Structure 1
Amino acid sequence: MKVLRENDFAYQAVYRYLTSVINESDAAGAMRLPSLRQLADRLKVSISTIQYAYSLLEKEGRVYSIAKSGYYAKARSLLVPPANGSDLLEAVYVNARRPGMCVLSTDDPASLQPLDSPLLMLERELLRQYPRQPQLLLQPCGELELRTVLAARYTTSSTHCWHADDVYIGADLRAVLEILIAVLELRQATVLVESPCDWVILRLFEAAEVRVIELPLQIDGALDPQWLASLLKTEPVRLILLSSALNLPHGSAAPTANRQLIAKLLAEQGTWVLENDCCSELADEHDGQRLRDWLDPERLLVFSAFDKIIGTEAPYGFVLSRQWRSELQRHFLLRSFRLSVTRQKAIARLYASGRIDQHLLVLRRLLKERRTHLIQLLRERLGDALQIVEPQGGATVWVRSLRTVNMSDVFHDLLRQQVVIAPGELFSLHRQHAQHLRLSAISHSDHDLASVVGLVGDALRLAPVE
């Protein structure tokens, strides 16, 4: 395989090979791509490696799959930057992957300091030590060693304790959330969520016809307890989705007193809580306590993923739950996730050795340096145009335009200048945050960040007032 470079990982070579095949195609319509088995035989790699490369391209919107037919590359006409009337999220995804674009919309903190290489080196060492691991025991909920490590990591007391049987590991976060929607029977049910909220979660809820009520965060990340109490009394709330500590994209961590008050209110109402723990490890500073520490663990589910900390080689998502055991086991069994046992063991040993905690110290520092630089530029050049929510962690900065403008026009104006931003409306299903942006300083490629911030300022100032 000519695209295979020294020290490359197999999936990266396959990904580049498929990308070149797609780019070199002259097909005007959709092009059928080789099957998993055909590519595996042609490139001399495993089927799972081919499948992972295809899944990356599918997430990027470059290919799609048809049941019992295979994978297809989208026609070139579908890869043209979407027009104003097209789906805004699709426009962000497609343009962020176009060559030469300056991407100020990304939220990929691990890209600054990935643990991919140490993870794969550890995996290779495990393969050398145990070259023929017998796959006798089916583990549909994930490898036992990793589930045991996660259970111990989340245990904080004799009351708030977890066991390996409470942990379920899936192919990625999306797959885990889809299972939770099914198990908790959320279709057409009412769910309360913090707002702004991750667009992946919102789109999954929307696809499942979940009735979402958004709870806007205050500037310090707190929730209004009186409004929440009123909603719990007047609405048939099945579940409430809250961040464990750090809320992204908002970048805030609710004050301890507010989190305690919210937890007490939820306990009094007996409300089921789904805690988003994906970003809590990225907080600059924290008192060590999460929202779950004040909640009844019998009415709590916690979900997270590894990729924001480790990198793309650890795409798995997971959930912790003491309840719904038979239903969760059944759904994970039906999904039949083909997860690498050795990769999961390698992740477990990164945690057990303390390597993850050491890595987080460096990652938090690097993220803070990048955010601080971006905020300094925003204040110098756009101080009269933006209000900035001071981030307490993560890779992004949440800002609000002080002028009421059409942010979609701003978005498309910047696209013409090869700059991609994330408009705030993506983080709401009810068109909240229309004057907000999520900006990031971790993936602006070779572009001068100061010049790019200047372009953002010009686009905001020149946009007509609504």
Structure 2
Amino acid sequence: MTLRGERQADFAYQAVYRYMINLINEVSTDTRVKLPSLRQLSQRLNVSISTIQYAYSLLEKEGRVYSVAKSGYYAWPLSGSPSTLPSGDLLERLYVAARRPGMVVLSADEPALLASLDATLLRLERELVRQHPRHLQSWSQPCGVWELRAALAARYTSSPSRCWHADDVYIGADLRGVLDILIEVLGLRGSTVIVESPCDWLILRLLQDAGVRIIELPWAPDGRLDLPALEGTLIEETVQLVLLSSAVSLPSGVAMQPFERLEVARLLEQYGCWLLENDTYSELGFQPQQAALRDLVNPDRLVVFSCFEKILGPEAPYGYLLSRHMSGELQRQFLLRSFRLSSIRQRAIARLYHSGQIDQHLNTLRQLLREQAGEMSQRLDHHLGDQVTYRMPSGGATFWLGSVHAVDMRQVFQHLLARQVVVAPGELFSLGGLHSQHVRLSHTFHGQPNLEIALAALGEALRQAQLG
């Protein structure tokens, strides 16, 4: 089977999506069924691996499939009963449970649920299709279309000495693919990397799978970065790279203070370390943005990565990175990955930047997130006031809760699954056993009728799981 000729490549993922829906309907049973790999489908349908990956991503969002690390994609069992959940890895169990029908998913981190630009993006895409005949569009831009790369370069430029150019920007199918390339190009296998903790499980597991030695730098309960611990580690260890958030660090929800940023920049310069800056949430902070960490460090040892999905919605799944150096190797790796991204969609995103619509959208989204966080805080105080501690988040769409009493958080997780509630246990955000008394909760709910019941169930689960 081939999809070429039947539909233009810009929209190949839609054809792949329809093919996968039919395939899932054919293979669905009461037990989980493994689906073809990205490479198998790429060869079968004669489209790029990134197109297959995008279609699978859409299916995951809709709860039709789920992914298992180092294994692949699986179709949902028809029964969806608790007995069909995998018994092994906690993250795998969370992924599977979150996609079961009827679950109250408090484990997600999707800010754009409150306000996405999906509809606007698709409207712009239709307009651009009329303006740019699809048969004239080129796929020979493995690092992304120039318009979007230039828009991002302009957005990240803050001064004549802190400027970026389109050639410094690289766009991939999703954040996972971009981070995979970074790990390869930076030669991190076998090296030592300092990572703020708690840290997104995607980042942690990609580094772990690549054989990187990870040293976790926990945020203190008062929301401060442990600078003496950072310096001590830089003295004692040969650290190649430090991974920190540019502004808001999630799921902890803290923001680095100006003096901390200056001290971090000084330490990185003194010990000759690269900064890998996670800029995923910098534009979702509730307070006016301070100088980004990237604007204080040596630009010759800096790489920034981010994605569009957190602010735009699932129709913009692309990840991207900015780097002034290693251009030859980065271009080679992006070409080898055969990223075949929709040029029309990228141009539509670029137009959102140029027109100022993204800034207008961000103002609205931040306000909604701030209001929703305030409402969630009141609910937490009402249902869990004597059972958890937390700091009001500085941005984003989640709360980071700590249990007042010692509990078995896995037991809490299991208890809630039986009540059709999914939370994200804190241990998922560490590889060293940290945060076992924490849990991440989403607050992006508009009139969710089951939220009060879910929070009451969480309180009951915490009481039942107390140790000693």
- TM-score for both structures, normalised by structure 1: 0.89
For residues 16 and 409 of structure 1, the distance between their equivalents in structure 2, rounded to whole angstroms, comes to 39
**Alignment-derived partner of residue 8 in structure 2:** none
- What SS does the aligned partner of 2:390 have? strand
CA distance in 2, matches of 1:13, 1:464: 50
Aligned to 1:116: 118
Deviation at 1:33, TM superposition (A): 6.7
Q: Which residue of 1 aligns with 2:436?
A: 434
Q: Is the 8 A contact 1:15 1:57 kept in 2?
A: yes
1:448, CA displacement in angstroms? 2.8
Paired AA for residue 174 in structure 2: D
Q: How far has the Cα of 1:436 moved from its partner?
A: 0.3
1:245 aligns with 2:250: no
For 2:434, give the aligned amino acid. Q
Aligned to 2:328: 326
Aligned to 1:129: 131
Deviations 1:79-113 (A, max 9, x none): 85676952111111111110110011100111211
Picking from 86, 94, 97, the partner of 1:95 is 97
Q: 1:23 to 1:389 in 2, by over 3 A?
A: farther
Q: Partners of 1:99 and 1:83 in 2: how far apart?
A: 13
Q: 1:224 to 1:55 in 2, by over 3 A?
A: closer
Q: Please name the residue that 2:24 is paired with.
A: 22
What is the CA–CA distance in structure 1 between the aligned matches of 2:52 and 2:235, rounded to whole Å? Answer: 50
**Structure 1: how far apart are the matches of 2:225 and 2:49?**
47
Deviation (angstroms), 1:215 = 0.2
**339-348 or 283-292, larger mean C-alpha shift:** 283-292
Amino acid corresponding to residue 308 of structure 1 in structure 2: K
Match of 1:3 in 2: none
The correspondence of residues 65-464 of structure 1 with structure 2, limited to 5 A, is 73=75, 85-132=87-134, 134-135=136-137, 138-443=140-445, 446-464=448-466
Q: Distance in 2 between matches of 1:428 and 1:236?
A: 21
Preserved contact between residue 104 and residue 450 of structure 2 (Cα < 8 Å):
no
Are the aligned partners of 2:273 and 2:301 in contact in 1 as well (CA < 8 Å)? Answer: yes
Are the structure 2 counterparts of residues 81 and 203 from structure 1 closer, same or farther at C-alpha, using a change threshold of 3 Å?
farther
In 1, the alpha carbon distance for the partners of 2:281 and 2:16 equals 30
SS in 2 for 1:308: helix
Offset of residue 402 of structure 1: 0.5
CA drift at 1:131:
1.5
Cα deviation for residue 445 of structure 1 reads: 8.0
Tell me the SS of whatever aligns to 2:309: coil
Q: Which runs of 5+ in 1 are unaligned?
A: 1-8
Q: 2:66 touches 2:96 (CA, 8 Å); kept in 1?
A: no
Cα separation, partners in 2 of 1:84 and 1:167, compared to 1, 3 Å: closer
- Give the Cα–Cα distance (whole angstroms) in 2 for the partners of residues 331 and 17 of structure 1: 29
RMSD: 3.1
Could you say what secondary structure the match of 1:389 adopts? coil
TM-score computed with the length of structure 2 as normaliser: 0.88
Query: Does the CA-based 8 Å contact 2:65-2:73 persist in structure 1?
Result: no
8 Å Cα contact 1:170-1:337 kept in structure 2: yes
CA deviation digits over 1:280-334, x for unaligned, max 9?
1000113441111111111100000000000111110000001111111110111
Aligned with 2:277: secondary structure?
strand
One-letter code of the match for 1:172?
Answer: D
8 A contact 1:283–1:394 mirrored in 2: yes
Aligned residues of 1:263 and 1:291 also touching (Cα < 8 A):
yes
Amino acid at match of 2:33: A
Name the aligned partner's letter for residue 30 of structure 1. V
- d(CA) in 2 for partners of 1:385, 1:27: 39
Q: Is the 8 A contact 2:400 2:440 kept in 1?
A: yes
Q: Residue 240 of structure 1: SS of its match in structure 2?
A: strand
